[in-house]
A and B are shown apart, each in its own frame.
Chain A
Amino acid sequence: MSLIWEALFSNVALVTILIVAWDFVSDWTGRLPRAVLALAFGAVMGLGAMASMVLAQTIIPGFIFDLRAPLIAAAGFFGGPIAAIVASLVAIACRLYLGGQGAIVGVIGILLLGAVGVIAYYTIRRRAQGLRMILYFSLAVTLGVFINFLVLPVDVWMALLKRIGLPLFTLVFVSAMIIGFLLYRLMRRQELTTANFIYRSMVDEMPDPMSVKDPDGRILVANPATAALFRTDSAEGMIGRLDSEFLPPKAIEEIRQHERAAMEAGEVRRFENPNRFEDDDRGAWLSTMKAPLRDMSGRIIGVITHNRDVTEIRRANMMRDEFISTVSHELRTPLTSIRGSLGLIVSGVAGELPPKAANLVKIAHTNSERLVALINDILDIEKIEAGKMAFDIRKEPLRPIVESVVTASAAFMPERNVAIVLHDDAPGAEVMVDPDRMHQVLSNLLSNAVKYSPQNDKVTVRISRNDGYVRLSVSDRGAGIPEAFRKRIFGKFEQADASSTRQVGGTGLGLSIVKSIVDRLAGRVSFETETDERAGSGTTFHVDLPEVSSARAQQEDEVAGEDIEAGTGPRHRVLVCEDDGDVARVIQSMLVTEGFTSDVAATVADARKALAERDYVALTLDIKLAGESGLDIFEHLRAAKRNSNIPVIVVSVVADETRRSLNGAAVGIVDWIQKPVAPDRLRRALSAHLRPDSNAAHRVLHVEDDSGVQEMLAGILGESVSVAYAQSLAEARAATARERFDVVILDVALPDGSGIELLDGLPPETAVIVFTASDLDADLAAKVDAVLTKTKTSELDVARMVRRFLPGGDLGRNNPTNQEKGAE
């Protein structure tokens, strides 16, 4: 009994050695053509089967019990039909040579196992993977051997089974498992090698330089294009070397900065920079992409670089700009004469025309106007898209802008007789806009609304508040926007119906311009439309712009970018680290309304300088600062003497991502705000983390219904004086009931009554300066501290007077004389 176990065990060893040997030569055999490899594999498995038979111990004369079965099956299973046939033939030849009573049964068994291997190759290999696949293979082999037994007469195989069944089937199964396992590993390794080779080729054959570096700049992978860019012979020779061996230190510094930015942000970053390897003045440019390299646990361990030569693209862009500029000039010059001549004729300056001729000239004139509009629109679109349209963004009340557009549009298409009605549900609402661009936005929307309105109808313009935004809505009662067109509405040269261009005019660029401009103003455009006439068809376009609260509005200067004047003033200062001037202005204006002054730093260097020079109560930080990482500021902050523990509010388009990848608490980040910044959100962050101004400025209440006068006076009074506003008697009463003022500047003629009525409710320590256009009688004048007359007194003098009445001024409350009464 032990003999058969021993015999078969030695066979297991033999089979194992054979497979290991095959594995050993696989690096070499891996390069053989597929068919040759299959032949060789079949031959080796066949020879293994042969050795197995030859070395088997004779247990029953004429019969050979050995482990050829898993080898022959493995030939088919791992090598396919060709390998199976080769292995089977070799084994059959050997078995026939050895002869004996069991030769035929043996040959049948070999054929059977060859078939099992091939069938398994087409079934199991396709359906199972890993250990499960090996298990199924082994079971199939064992089953094959059992079936082979059934060829013999029943009593014979029953007897055989009893005698050697257990060891034979056990060891067939075990050796099939071993063979399966080893060959499976080999197969996987070869697959990986192939995949690796494909990836490698992908990188190497790429004409764009690609490389992978560790955080120190050591090159881990580089393709031949990188070697060519770095002016070195072989890509392989670059591996393990530092990029600083190839580039000047200044370039390396910048590259490191870019790479850090990508790694810290954990996302792809793109940069455009001159090609530093080009020594001539060809003006070569590279567009560089830096992506973080992560290990399998997701940790960032390096950076992937991809470069592309964009010299030609840049050159083409420059040529295009020049071309457009030239074309626009060349087109406009003849158009000036055409439009001018036609305009003069149509207006009758050149005398009366016969009716038919007049009609023709009118057509020509209308179309010359259209051509002018089209050229202007195209140039605008071009400018906006190239980022070349200058935006002069400042804090403006929305209503006057809207009013001027409505007035200007009233004469638009007089033949349609469409009235424009303005509703202001948000009086005094102020927004950060470029008034000229806002004008463009609204006149585009209005001309659309008028064009698509029914004859003699009306268009409604409404200003309202909507969750921190000021909403400007333009509604018509036209046919509505067809379903199919709604998605494309903000595209270029899009009009609902191409034939409508001729009917309603327009360039098809209007809404595209509107959207581009509103995007730049940090606003949103949306529309509602109804095409069903029964439900009351029509379209409303909404433009939402972040509202600037006017509660404590300050003068324009403070909102402008470079507020680095010498006097610090008593108010607390916030440093705004932001490279986009428009966004910085928006944030600054929000800060102003919260009672803070601010400085702007557009680069990491600026921020460091500012932090070293001044004390700040807080820092708002954009993660992306002009290609640098805003996070670089922290290194400096922690080490600095000044401002080292100020709260930091991150304001960024990547706020959410960065928050996840960075432990904010460690560096003093108190809040994260995603761009675009909603005013409410910033307000909340500020009030939660910053102390409001405790060193209260002198309080002045300006009661005045003309916002122009208010603005001007606020500008002159400057930031050392905190001015509250009231536009009506009711507002003024509410303000004086709420807090104590040092000075009240009072206009007499208010929409809801006389300003004089306010006097009775004022505490005696409040000085009152009347600033009014109407003459005041002597009795009333006696009740107030000073009377100044509009048109005779400038705002500058009013401001001077206010200062004299403030605590510390020569007419401060301890010295309540009325001698300045009537001063002009």
Chain B
Amino acid sequence: MTALARKILYVDDEADIREVAQMSLEIDPAFQVRQCASGPEALTAAVDWQPDLILLDVMMPAMDGPETLERLRANPVTAGIPVVFITARTQSNDVSRFLELGAVGVIAKPFDPMSLARDVAGYLPS
């Protein structure tokens, strides 16, 4: 639709998954993807890079996804960035909890690499 570049921040402690996810997202030429390996890294990147959307893994050591989200919300500079959780924990009570935390969506792992970009695009503000 729009030729404007969209900045996606992908946060996951698994390097392999980050790699696959970046390639999957870049199928959409409009997407610019940057990776982060941890919550604290993501907080810094979110401030510096001002992504259009953050894809956030839930189970990460030290600072997990929900905590990272909470901190993003606490900072006025990053509070408005939509966050989508990407997680293997997709039991319905988990999902509803994530949405209550303020995520705009939840994407299940394992994701389909060919449709990840499309799914993410659906969560971007138009």
Q: What is the predominant secondary structure among interface residues of chain B facing chain A?
A: loop
Q: Is the pair A332, B109 in contact by a Cβ cutoff of 8 Å? A: yes
Docked complex: B1-49 residues within 8 A CB-CB of A: 14, 16-17, 19-21, 23-24, 27
Q: A388 on the interface (CB 8 Å rule)?
A: yes
A643 to B38, CA, bound (A): 62
Chain B neighbourhood of A337, CB < 8 A: 14, 16-17, 19-20
Query: A325, A333, A335: which has the most chain B beta carbons within 10 Å?
Result: A333
- The 10 closest A-B CB pairs, nearest first, are A340-B20, A332-B88, A337-B16, A343-B113, A336-B110, A390-B92, A336-B109, A340-B113, A329-B88, A339-B110
- Please pick, from A333, A336, A388, the residue contacting B91 in the complex, using a CB distance under 8 A: A388
Smallest CB-CB separation from A339: which chain B residue?
A: B110
Q: Identify the closest chain A residue to B59 (Cβ).
A: A329
Instruction: Give Cα A338 to B111, complex, Å.
Output: 11
Q: What is the bound-complex CA distance between A349 and B21, given in angstroms?
A: 13
Contact B111 A340 (CB under 8 A): yes
Q: Known interface pairs A333-B14, A333-B17. Does A372 touch B110 (Cβ–Cβ under 8 Å)?
A: yes
Binding site for A on B (CB under 8 A): 14, 16-17, 19-21, 23-24, 27, 59, 88-89, 91-93, 96, 109-114
List 18 other contacts, CB 8 Å, given A340-B24, A349-B27. Answer: A328-B89, A333-B14, A333-B17, A334-B16, A335-B109, A336-B17, A336-B20, A338-B110, A339-B112, A339-B113, A340-B21, A340-B111, A341-B16, A343-B112, A343-B113, A350-B23, A372-B110, A390-B96
Residues of A at the B interface (CB closer than 8 Å) are 325, 328-329, 332-341, 343-344, 347, 349-350, 372, 379, 383, 388-390
Q: Which residues of A contact B92 (CB under 8 A)?
A: 389-390
**Contact A344 B23, CB 8 Å, known A329-B59, A333-B109, A390-B93:** yes
Measured in the bound complex, the distance between the Cα atoms of B89 and A329 in whole Å is 6
The CA-CA distance from A328 to B109 in the complex, in Å, is 10
Q: How far is the CA of A232 from the CA of B21 in the complex (A)?
A: 65
Q: Enumerate chain B residues within 8 angstroms of A333, measured Cβ to Cβ.
A: 14, 17, 88, 109
How many angstroms from the CA of A335 to the CA of B92 in the assembled complex? 21
Minimum Cβ distance to chain B for residue A632 (Å): 32
Tell me the nearest residue of chain A to B58, going by C-beta. Answer: A329
- A335 to B109, alpha carbons, bound, how many Å? 8
Interface-central residue, A337, A341, A349, A383, by most chain B CB under 10 Å: A337
A-B contact pairs, 25 of them (CB 8 A): A325-B91, A328-B89, A329-B59, A332-B88, A335-B109, A335-B110, A336-B88, A336-B109, A337-B16, A337-B17, A337-B20, A338-B110, A340-B17, A340-B20, A340-B110, A343-B112, A343-B113, A344-B23, A344-B113, A349-B27, A349-B113, A350-B23, A388-B93, A389-B92, A390-B93
A349 with B110: CB separation less than 8 A = no
Residues in A neighbouring B23, C-beta threshold 8 A: 340, 344, 349-350
Contacts of B17 in A (CB 8 A): 333, 336-337, 340
B88 x A347 contact (CB < 8 A) = no
User: Among B20, B88, B111, which residue has its beta carbon within 8 angstroms of that of A341?
Assistant: B20
Q: How far is the CA of A390 from the CA of B94 in the complex (A)?
A: 11
Least CB distance from A176 to B in Å reads 81
Q: Which of B88, B89, B91, B111 contacts A383 (CB 8 A)?
A: B91
Instruction: Report A-chain residues with C-beta under 8 Å of the C-beta of B21.
Output: 340
A344 to B114, CA, bound (A): 7
A335 / chain B contacts, CB cutoff of 8 Å: 109-110
Nearest-Cβ distance from residue B38 to partner chain A, whole angstroms? 16
